[in-house]
Structure 1
Amino acid sequence: MTTDPASRIPRNRADDYTPEAAAERRAFIEARTEARLDHVGRYAFDPKSLPGNIENFIGAAQVPIGLAGPLRINGERAQGEFYIPMATTEGTLVASYNRGMRLITECGGAKATVVARSMQRSPVFLFEDALEAREFGAWVDAHFEAIKAAAETTTRSGKLVSIQQFAVGPTRHLRFNFTTGDAAGQNMSGKATAAACEWIRANRPGGARYILSGNTDTDKKHSQMNMLATRGRRVVAEAVLGKEALKRMMRVDPRDLFYARQVSQAGAFLAGSANNGAHAANGLAAMFIATGQDAANVAESHAAIVYAQLLEDGDYYWSITLPALIVATVGGGTGLATQSECLAMLGCQGSGKADKLAEICAAVALAGDISLSCAILSGDWVSSHERLGRNRPP
């Protein structure tokens, strides 16, 4: 059965990134549905900037951007007070994060640091039996430097730092771990791993059969592997919250807060949650959309480990570790007009800024966890959403 040519989405093979091509596709879908695309068709950027970011372009989804802050960060790369652009349609979100930022800033700011970097591609090699697979693994270890050299011929900024190995029956799963500079690096690591696998196939006695991804890279999926071994950046944000500030601004006592942490920790364990805190995904998704990150990477990036201490003087230590935060300041959507402006707002535009952006993201996640956790305990959670988060028709 062949597709009716009249039902194919219009494309201009000579130049498909023009206002005219987008208008033709909008007219095409309007003729086949009851939709009117007046708002979709209003945008302020040149379609010629979009190759490599989208296909069959018709317009833009306008997501409101709110501003939260200031947030004081005392990081390795992110230092000073920051105002955070957050793109969302969820009422109360910006106000809640803003409240957590006010508390952190009043208490001297959040420390933040990137403690590890790693992006993966995970080919699986196929053999007749487990013994051959095991001996292949030893061959890979012995030839790591040559494999590394083959991988790095494809990239200027990607570096192969290690290859993890996992045995399953007659197969050998290899997890190639790269650093990727200021790019997110999924495509970079995929291209480099493909080159490495071809080198292995050409140089291993007897050759080798493989599938480029055996799925231990868990691309755009959460995994315990990422929690332990890092994907993207592993970044920590931490703050000491004064007991008087907590009582005055959040209406919670640090002792009650610490007790609630033990209870919610058990609940997260019971549920098998990827995050024992409150809601890192909210702030990360809003920042990702505003700054041109791949929004699907929230699937990995939202995983978090919250750790707290009730200090002897009654103050409260609070930290959040994001073990698989995937952010970039070059490539992908970071160069688009709106997203570039939001990165500039954070001082994170261009090369050399990805670690800084990661520190800011972690500090924002910390602010959101503080605010929501305190709101639940003080009774503000439902009332604030009732007041700010319900978009009722007039």
Structure 2
Amino acid sequence: MLAVVTDLRIPRDRSDDYSAEAIGARQEFLAAATGADQPHMRHFSLDPQTLPGNIENFLGVAQVPVGLAGPLLVNGEHAQGEFLVPLATTEGTLVASYSRGMKLFREAGGITTTVLDDKMQRAPVFSFESAREARAFGEWLTEHFDEVAAAAETTTTTGKLLEIQQFSVSKLLYTRFNYSTGDAAGQNMTGKATFAACAWIKLNYPGELHFVLEGQFATDKKTSVVNMLHTRGKRVVAEATLPADLVLKHLNVSTDKLFAARLKGQLGSIMSVTNNNGNHSANGITAIFIATGQDVANVAESSALYGFTELLPNGDLYVSVTLPSLIIATYGGGTGLATQREGLEIMDCYGAGKARKLAEIIAATVLAGELSLGAAVVAEEWVQAHDDLGRNRP
């Protein structure tokens, strides 16, 4: 509950809002306004002068425990070898479960990873007086793609407009401007580039049109079928074949029981209309996102997952996950802040040319966690594991 104060306005310093004085003024203001002290939140090792562009009204930090999972053996095109994976979480059993899955896959020869696609969107909607006018504009847009792309790319040195998908309905034309964005996640980049493209279109199209820069068809920070089918961010697969004896040794369950449970889970996922048919992809993805400075709200899209399992004739188990909309960065945003950069450097994933490497490591981590949790449920170890490792009560 807020205490009664004379002027309940958060202190700001227009000349330097990240100075020690400005930060101290906000800390004292908060203590006076709420009556609560923040002895831990107030103390930090990062340089506040690195924060402009990342946060406003800076007060302090939220310290989230970071644990190491691994080693994770990845046979990727960009990530090759063993990796220790930082997971920032407050959920007991999480790091242990992922490490268990990683151990099994390491003994089985590792996880193969493949990036299938890589693009980021902005999705303007164009409106007209009739469906025929919308159709005519779509034809014009296709004919003038090169000019539109040139206008978009004047705003960025790394982004490239790859294609413009068109989806017509009524007298509206919804579009998806698909870009490559290098090692940045690219939402801001694509927004600026698409605005420039739409300005050029507005100026050069011979007919009348109106547009809204985002028609909610990019489904930014929301799960959607369109992005699962057409990709948003990185589309990456992690797969492996597990010998039956290794599965029984490490997970205390047979491959045929795992596969039978998988079929039941498939039906449950269909009935409940989830964004994936896995167990808990958001857990590992969120923990890595927090540890490495990703935009955590992108977990809404990034946790989408297609899981596929096959019981082979000899009893071995083929397992895979496809992440169709994994939105990550190794450069820009929060990735360059002090502790977040350290998290990326643990995996040699900070900076230019590392985004696809990080995508492969995340996908492999997700696969390890999916199998470990699924096996714990089938082996009836799930509840006991949380009792043993996940009960932290004051």
Q: TM-score, normalised by structure 1?
A: 0.98
Alpha-carbon distance, 1:208 to partner: 2.5
1:1-394 mapped onto 2 (5 Å cutoff): 6-393=7-394
Q: RMSD of the TM alignment (CA)?
A: 1.0
d(CA) in 2 for partners of 1:365, 1:20? 43
Alpha-carbon distance, 1:206 to partner: 3.0
Residues 281-338 of structure 1, C-alpha deviations (whole Å, 9 max, x = no match): 0000000000000000000000000001111221111000000000100000000000
Partner secondary structure for residue 7 of structure 1: coil
Alpha-carbon distance, 1:240 to partner: 1.0
User: More deviation in 59-68 or 125-134?
Assistant: 125-134
Residues 330-377 of structure 1, C-alpha deviations (whole Å, 9 max, x = no match): 000000000111111001010000000000000000011010000000
d(CA) in 2 for partners of 1:110, 1:123? 39
d(CA) in 1 for partners of 2:219, 2:6? 38
Check the 8 A contact 1:251/1:378 in 2, yes or no: yes
Check the 8 A contact 2:290/2:296 in 1, yes or no: yes
d(CA) in 2 for partners of 1:30, 1:169? 55
User: More deviation in 165-174 or 248-257?
Assistant: 165-174
d(CA) in 2 for partners of 1:57, 1:224? 37
Partner secondary structure for residue 6 of structure 1: coil
Alpha-carbon distance, 1:392 to partner: 1.4
d(CA) in 1 for partners of 2:239, 2:24? 49
Alpha-carbon distance, 1:116 to partner: 0.2
Letter in 2 for 1:268: S
Alpha-carbon distance, 1:263 to partner: 0.7
Residues 107-165 of structure 1, C-alpha deviations (whole Å, 9 max, x = no match): 11000011001100001111111111111111101111110111011111101111111
User: More deviation in 179-188 or 160-169?
Assistant: 160-169
Alpha-carbon distance, 1:390 to partner: 1.3
Count of residue pairs brought into register by the alignment: 390
Structure 1: which 5+ runs fail to align?
A: none
Check the 8 A contact 1:160/1:179 in 2, yes or no: yes
Partner secondary structure for residue 199 of structure 2: helix
Structure 2: which 5+ runs fail to align?
A: none
Regions of 4+ moved over 6 Å:
none
Check the 8 A contact 1:257/1:374 in 2, yes or no: yes
Check the 8 A contact 1:200/1:207 in 2, yes or no: no
